[in-house]
Amino acid sequence: MRLLLLLVSVAYAADLKLTPAWTYDTRDSTEAAEGGKRPALEVTPVYDAGRLYLSTPWGTVAALEAATGREIWRVDLKVDPKGWYGDFASRGVSLRGTRLYLGTVDGRLVCLEKADGARCAGFGEIDLTKGLRRGPRYVGEYGVTSAPAIFGDLVVTGSAIADNSRLDMATGEVRAFDAMTGKLRWTFHPLPAESKAGAANTWSRIVSDEASGLVFLPVGSASPDYYGGERPGDNRYANCVVALNGKTGAVVWSFQTVHHDIWDYDVASPPELYLYKGRKAIAVGSKTGHLFLLDRMTGEPIFGVEERAVPASTTPGEVAARTQPFPLKPPALVKQRLTETEIDPSCVESFRKLRNEGIFTPPSEQGSLIVPGNIGGMHWGGAVWAAKDKMLVIPVNDLPAVIRMIPQARFRAARAEYPNRETTEQKGTAYAMSREFLLTPAGVPCVAKPWGSLVGVNTETGEIAWKVKLGEWPNLGGLTVSKAGYVFVGADFGAFLRAFDPKTGARMGEWALPTSARAKPMTFEEGASEYVVVAAGGHDAPMSKIDTKIVAFRIGK
């Protein structure tokens, strides 16, 4: 048993009180052997009948007593420790009847009995790297980072695929398997069979709506992210939310948030189901900072979308889309253009050298300012619908980036000359790329705070109701709503769990964590008490140490 006590708690508001309940350490023997080098802990536990079930990037799965954090059982799925996983995570497990289902970062779909963690009879273990149109070339190129979706008697899973190393990355099929036997039932292919590109994978959370007969896929960009000369056209189904018939996998409708993506503007955010004046609706966020509010059954925009002209590419061989979709409501949740007056004086000289035409400025050899940057905008933390207040609440970032296209002949020299830039080959195309955030010499963003905010969007009007600072740093992570309607969120690089009023954006409290929470919190009721639980795993940044803790608070007044 790994059971610790969290002692520090600070609240702002007298009407909302959180009492430390327990802390559980997920650290396993693989992590110890690796000396602490590991993907981030981003799991959201699942509650069922007095227990919590959780997973870690290294393949540990555990069942805990929900009220105390006492470990009931723990199994090790033995993820290959030699894989190159980058920032791949394990965001949780899914429940169906007596069984748990989860994907691993080394590309397996596993079924466990929730009673004791034993392997499910008849299901076996599925190697998801097999049966693809194009498989991965190394362990860690292809994995699973989000919990599978459950639709009736099917388990539906996507994949995480490494970015930017080459054109012909592994392909991003979404597949449905029989929940009892593991037999393949249907496959969705996001790109044509003849496509030279790969990826267009669904790495974020697939959303199942059995009452509507649909599953919703947040599909990412085709490979490579920053040069599309070898994948001409809109790359249909990439950068889309795709609604499939859950039983057959047939496309019912799709909506593309970015045409011919050359900015790494994935649909990273899980779609959020909500009601618009009694009508089934769905909110789809993009790293662009656009939030598209759509009819859930048809994909038709509720408040309208228009195609607007955007800048052309100057990179030889690249043909950028002439227009991009902009929602009429709500307006962009983040800045999409920067002027010199908004830049720290220490950044002005380098700022003036960049191509800077606002959102959808194509990458260029001279260097292009990308606003918002490649983490968004909206990110994988997604939105949450506070039904009582008819409000969508969304964490966002205002953190511009600089993208440079590098002719392949200069790739190795550029990587050696600028070791602090992320420089990748994009092999199979004419251009490598480098990217970095627009930072001052002191290493902080060149734009003024807030770098990370929380936004409330009124679902009845489509308008932004409020926007407040989330913390002192950018953010990555999700949010949840308590029974009383409070929104809980970590996400900021600061080591806190915070609560907000979704109607006004007022901060209701702040409670210390062992480190920052790059995860989506969850709530559950046990006996007469309600709890909020969050993984405090850190953001792998100098101001946010890496850790392995699951922290629970009891909610009271």
Gyration radius (Cα) of the chain, Å: 22
- Note every long-range contact of 14-19, with CB atoms under 8 Å and residues 24 or more positions apart, other chains counting: 15/508, 15/557, 16/486, 16/499, 16/508, 16/509, 16/555, 16/557, 17/509, 17/555, 17/556, 17/557, 18/497, 18/499, 18/509, 18/511, 18/532, 18/553, 18/554, 18/555, 18/556, 19/553, 19/554, 19/556
Q: What is the pLDDT of residue 545?
A: 87
Query: How would you label 133-153 residue by residue, b for 16+ Cβ within 10 Å and e otherwise?
Result: ebbbeebbbbbbbbbbbbbee
The residue-averaged pLDDT of 363-375 equals 97
In the beta sheet, which residues pair with residue 45?
none
Cβ(230)–Cβ(171) below 8 Å: no
pLDDT per residue as tens digits for the range 159-182: 999 988 899 999 999 999 999 999
CA distance 407 to 414: 10
Check residues 29 and 467 and name the one with the higher pLDDT: 467
Q: What is the pLDDT of residue 40?
A: 77
Which tokens sit at 49?
A: 């009948």
Cβ(104)–Cβ(90) below 8 Å: yes
CA distance 55 to 59: 7
Query: Does residue 3 carry a pLDDT above 50?
Result: no
Indicate the length of the chain as a whole number.
557
Residue 398, CA atoms < 13 Å, CB-side half-sphere: 25
CA distance 80 to 59: 9
Residue 321, CA atoms < 13 Å, CB-side half-sphere: 20
> What phi and psi, each to the nearest 5 degrees, are found at residue 526?
-140, 115
3-class SS string, 31-95? HHHCCCCCCCCCCCCEEECCEEEEECCCCEEEEEECCCCCEEEEEECCCCCCCCCCCCCCCCCEE
Q: What is the pLDDT of residue 307?
A: 98
pLDDT band per the 50, 70, 90 thresholds, residue 390:
very high
Task: Give the CA distances from residue 232 to residues 40, 227, 314, 500, in Å, rounded to whole numbers and listed in that order.
Answer: 35, 10, 15, 44
Evaluated on CA atoms 96, 98, 104, 109, the torsion sign reads negative
DSSP structural state of residue 270: P
The residue-averaged pLDDT of 177-198 equals 97
Query: Does residue 35 carry a pLDDT above 50?
Result: no
CA distance 240 to 269: 11
Strand, coil or helix: 415: helix
Query: How would you label 56-91 residue by residue, b for 16+ Cβ within 10 Å and e otherwise?
Result: bbbbbbbbbbbbebeebbbbebebbbebebeebbbb
3-class SS string, 311-362? CCCCCCCCCCCCEEEEECCCCCCCCCCCCHHHECHHHHHHHHCCECCCCCCC
The residue-averaged pLDDT of 194-211 equals 97
Task: Give the CA distances from residue 473 to residues 89, 108, 444, 490, 516, in Å, rounded to whole numbers and listed in that order.
Answer: 21, 35, 10, 12, 11
Cβ(524)–Cβ(489) below 8 Å: no
Q: What is the pLDDT of residue 31?
A: 54
Residue 198: which of 176, 219, 175 has the closest Cα?
Answer: 219
Output the CA angle 84-87-92, nearest 5 degrees.
110
Residue type for position 540: D
Q: What is the pLDDT of residue 30?
A: 52
Query: Does residue 13 carry a pLDDT above 70?
Result: no
> At a CB cut-off of 8 Å and minimum separation 6, what does 389 contact?
485, 502, 503
In the beta sheet, which residues pair with residue 166?
427
CA distance 114 to 44: 16
pLDDT band per the 50, 70, 90 thresholds, residue 32:
very low
Q: What is the pLDDT of residue 136?
A: 97
The residue-averaged pLDDT of 148-160 equals 98
Query: Does residue 405 carry a pLDDT above 80?
Result: yes
Residue type for position 38: R
Q: What is the pLDDT of residue 2?
A: 36
CA distance 217 to 156: 10
Which tokens sit at 476?
A: 């990555």
The residue-averaged pLDDT of 5-18 equals 52
Where along the chain do its domains lie?
284-451+461-476
pLDDT per residue as tens digits for the range 85-115: 888 899 999 999 999 999 999 999 999 999 9
CA distance 254 to 267: 12
> At a CB cut-off of 8 Å and minimum separation 6, what does 340 contact?
348, 351, 352
Which tokens sit at 118?
A: 């034993």
Strand, coil or helix: 460: coil
Evaluated on CA atoms 139, 141, 147, 150, the torsion sign reads negative
Give the chain's end-to-end CA distance (angstroms, integer): 31
Which tokens sit at 307?
A: 């195609």
Query: Does residue 271 carry a pLDDT above 80?
Result: yes
CA distance 160 to 24: 27
